[in-house]
Amino acid sequence: MNVNKNLGQTDRVFRAGLGLLAVYAGIFKAQIIGDPLLAVLVAAFGLVNVVSAAIGWCCVYQLAGISTCKVFPK
């Protein structure tokens, strides 16, 4: 599967940080969130963001036609 990257460096760093924070909160601080289902959803949201940051591609950006990835001319 050939997928063009659509996340720039700043976007990837932000997503990775937010994702790791959400995974941590959803798994290790679930008592603060209160509802177990909400804690799982927060952790899942975080995991999706960490994976997006790692691969440099976001399906929502793809559907919206958005790209924050800088393209350098050859």
pLDDT of residue 42: 96
Cβ-defined contacts of 21-24 (< 8 Å, 24+)? 21/46, 22/46, 22/49, 23/47, 23/50
Check: pTM over 0.75? Answer yes or no.
yes
pLDDT tens-digit map of 21-74: 999 999 999 999 999 999 999 999 999 999 999 999 998 999 998 899 887 555
For residue 49, how many other CB atoms are within 10 A of its CB?
22
pLDDT exceeds 80 at position 12: yes
What's the confidence (pLDDT) of residue 3? 66
